[in-house]
């Protein structure tokens, strides 16, 4: 394997990779509405010569290169968040504008750039005859923005694929990311007694009950565990609601939604117990539940899951991490930056739930994810394509 040849081939395909990314950006593809962009990816995989292309029951697209014994997967979720207020954008979020070597638009960084680079990595592998005793599956997965990891829960639990390792191509600014905090969504409900608002003493106000709980949740955030690599666990009240017969009545029900970020060592059971303890400290009664996700994909397939997304960390001396560092340094002649994501990825399923060694390497900077400045440099597309093309050979030599 000649790193210079791989880089040269990636540079050669820079216009095609860039146009492919722009084509995907031009197709709105929020969670559960990805059909159009999946068809675009299928056409591009066919064009560059993938050996097999399939779309599973959930609507994920999977493209195969090679047919060796070692099964490697590279993943990009291809759904995006919405654009918010279109007036806040300096450019049309669906034009895929190319200016001064940067592609702009919704999904550029998070994370259709990874998809574009992976597909052309497949072409580079074919061109340079880099196929070895491995099978590479390139996956474009759905519903990640709505429910991270759901797609890979389905892929792994339903035995669509069984890879020995996975690369997540979420934006890392070309760093090598080996984990991130987990998260979970918790609901808390207080129940009171409704009555006419002119005589509130006849009832029990569920909002007042919940106010005491919210105060204790704020205090809980200061007591949560910390980790030298991943950082501190956190809890945030992200939504509050109440039910009342009218605006002239005492509410008989209140609800809060908690966004709980989990650091190393924190589990679902620990997090739920901490919330229950906070309620006890508040001196009220309340119900606690881990919320569920059960929304149909664009194929009208529902795969229900609990909204618990485990923390994961790949040790720095693991062969997958070492192979990633070696790939980067051989290609680019500089020291690799090894770090972590601040947000959550499909790695919560591949490694967090299923224990499959997982690493991250992606084009674009995560600071642009979900922003009105969503963007990816063309240089990143080229380097990422080269990395994805070179990695399987280096990994199979090491592992």
Q: How many domains is the chain built from?
A: 2
282 and 147 in a single domain? The answer is no
d(C-alpha 251, C-alpha 193), whole Å: 7
The verdict on whether omega for the bond into residue 111 sits within 30 degrees of 0, i.e. cis, is yes
Q: Which residues pair with 167 in a beta bridge?
A: 74, 359
Percent of the chain beyond pLDDT 90?
99
Tens digits of residue pLDDT in 6-19: 999 999 999 999 99
In a domain, 300, yes or no: no
267 and 337 in a single domain? The answer is no
Domain that holds residue 232: 182-293
Look at residue 64 in the predicted model and tell me its pLDDT. Answer: 99
Average pLDDT over residues 141-155: 98
Look at residue 384 in the predicted model and tell me its pLDDT. Answer: 99
H or E stretch including 311?
none
In a domain, 303, yes or no: no
171 and 191 in a single domain? The answer is no
Question: Does pLDDT of 166 surpass 90?
Answer: yes
Tens digits of residue pLDDT in 102-139: 999 999 999 999 999 999 999 999 999 999 999 999 99
Question: Does pLDDT of 399 surpass 90?
Answer: no
43 and 98 in a single domain? The answer is yes
Answer for the pair 251, 206: CB distance below 8 angstroms, yes or no: yes
pTM: predicted TM-score of the whole model, two decimal places: 0.94
33 and 119 in a single domain? The answer is yes
Q: Which residues pair with 360 in a beta bridge?
A: 168, 177
In a domain, 35, yes or no: yes
Residue partners of 107: CB distance under 8 A and separation at least 6: 24, 25, 29, 78, 80, 374
Tens digits of residue pLDDT in 209-232: 999 999 999 999 999 999 999 999
d(C-alpha 94, C-alpha 308), whole Å: 32
223 and 339 in a single domain? The answer is no
Look at residue 280 in the predicted model and tell me its pLDDT. Answer: 98
Q: How far are the Cα atoms of 32, 260, 290, 380 from residue 294, in angstroms, in the given order?
A: 12, 20, 13, 36
15 and 150 in a single domain? The answer is yes
In a domain, 302, yes or no: no
In a domain, 306, yes or no: no
As annotated, the active-site residues are 79, 144
Residue partners of 166: CB distance under 8 A and separation at least 6: 72, 73, 74, 75, 152, 347, 350, 351, 356, 357, 358, 359
204 and 283 in a single domain? The answer is yes
66 and 153 in a single domain? The answer is yes
In a domain, 305, yes or no: no
245 and 175 in a single domain? The answer is no
Of all residues in the chain, what percent are helix, strand and coil, respectively (each to 5)? 35, 25, 40
């Amino acid at each position: 394997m000649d790193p210079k040849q791989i880089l040269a081939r990636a540079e050669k395909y820079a216009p095609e990779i860039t146009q492919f990314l722009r084509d995907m950006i031009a197709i709105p593809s929020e969670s559960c509405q990805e059909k159009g962009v999946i068809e675009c990816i299928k056409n591009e995989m066919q064009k560059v010569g993938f050996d097999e292309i399939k779309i599973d029951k959930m609507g994920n697209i999977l493209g195969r290169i090679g047919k060796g014994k070692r099964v490697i997967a590279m993943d990009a979720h291809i759904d995006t968040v919405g654009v918010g207020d279109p007036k806040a954008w300096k450019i049309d979020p669906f034009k895929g504008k190319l200016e001064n070597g940067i592609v702009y638009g919704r999904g550029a960084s998070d994370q259709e750039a990874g998809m574009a680079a992976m597909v052309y990595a497949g072409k580079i592998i074919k061109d340079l005859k880099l196929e070895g005793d491995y099978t590479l599956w390139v996956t474009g997965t759905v519903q990640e923005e709505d429910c991270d990891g759901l797609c890979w829960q389905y892929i792994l639990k339903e035995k669509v694929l069984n890879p020995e390792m996975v690369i997540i191509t979420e934006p890392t600014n070309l760093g090598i990311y080996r984990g991130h905090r987990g998260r979970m969504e918790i609901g808390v409900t207080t129940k009171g007694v409704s009555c006419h608002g002119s005589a509130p003493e006849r009832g029990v106000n569920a909002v007042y009950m919940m106010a005491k709980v919210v105060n204790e949740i704020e205090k809980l955030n200061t007591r949560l565990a910390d980790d030298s690599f991943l950082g501190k666990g956190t809890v945030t009240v992200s939504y509050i609601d109440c039910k009342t017969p009218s605006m002239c009545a005492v509410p008989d029900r209140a609800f809060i939604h908690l966004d709980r970020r989990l650091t190393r060592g924190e589990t679902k059971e620990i997090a739920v117990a901490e919330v229950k303890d906070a309620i006890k400290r508040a001196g009220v009664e309340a119900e606690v539940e881990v919320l569920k996700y059960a929304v149909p994909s664009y194929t009208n397939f529902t795969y229900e899951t609990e909204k618990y997304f485990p923390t994961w960390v790949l040790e720095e001396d693991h062969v997958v991490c070492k192979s990633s560092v070696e790939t980067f340094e051989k290609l680019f002649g500089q020291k690799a930056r090894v770090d972590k994501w601040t947000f959550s990825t499909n790695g919560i399923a591949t490694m967090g739930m299923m224990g499959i060694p997982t690493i991250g390497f992606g084009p674009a900077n995560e600071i642009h994810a979900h922003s009105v400045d969503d963007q990816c440099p063309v240089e990143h597309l080229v380097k990422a394509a080269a990395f994805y093309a070179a990695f399987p050979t280096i990994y199979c030599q090491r592992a």
